[in-house]
Structure 1
Amino acid sequence: MKKALKNFILESDATLEQHDWGTLRWVTNPSVQDVKQITSLVVHLPKSQGHNFHLHPNQEEVIHVLEGSIEQWIGTEKHILNVGDSVFIPANQVHASFQYGEQEAKLLAILGPCAANEVGYEIEDVSTLSPWNTLRQ
Structure 2
Amino acid sequence: MADREKVFVYPEDVSAFGFDWGRMALTVAPEVNGAERFSGGVVDLPPGKGHTRHNHPGAEEIIFVISGNGEQMVEGERGNPVVAKVGPGCTIYVPESRFHSTLNTGDLPMQLFVVYSPAGPELALRELPDFKLLPAGK
Name the TM tier (shorter chain): 0.7 to 0.9
- Deviations along 1:70-127, one digit per CA (max 9) or x if unpaired, are 1000121110001001110011100000001211110000111113xxxx63558xxx
Amino acid at match of 1:85: C
| Residue 99 (structure 1) aligned with residue 94 (structure 2) | no
5+ long unaligned stretches in structure 1:
125-137
Distance 1:85 1:31 in 2: 28
- Which of the pair is proportionally richer in helix? 2
Distance 1:32 1:104 in 2: 26
- Find runs of 4+ consecutive structure 1 residues off by over 3 angstroms: none
Unmatched segments (≥5 aa) in structure 2: 76-80, 126-138
Amino acid at match of 1:43: V
Q: Which residue of 1 aligns with 2:46?
A: 46
Q: What root-mean-square deviation, in Å, do the aligned CA atoms of Structure 1 and Structure 2 show? A: 1.7
**Number of residue pairs the alignment of both structures matches:** 117
- Distance change in 2, residues 1:90/1:123 (3 Å): farther
Q: Which has the bigger relative contact order, CA under 8 A and spacing at least 6? A: 2
| 2:30 counterpart SS class | coil
Aligned partner of 1:66 in structure 2 is 66
Are the counterparts in 1 of residues 64 and 114 from structure 2 also a CA contact under 8 Å? yes
What TM-score results when the alignment is normalised by the length of structure 2? 0.78
1:1-137 alignment, distance < 5 Å: 6-75=6-75, 76-115=81-120, 121=122, 123=124
Of stretches 44-53 and 10-19 in structure 1, the one that deviates more from structure 2 is 10-19
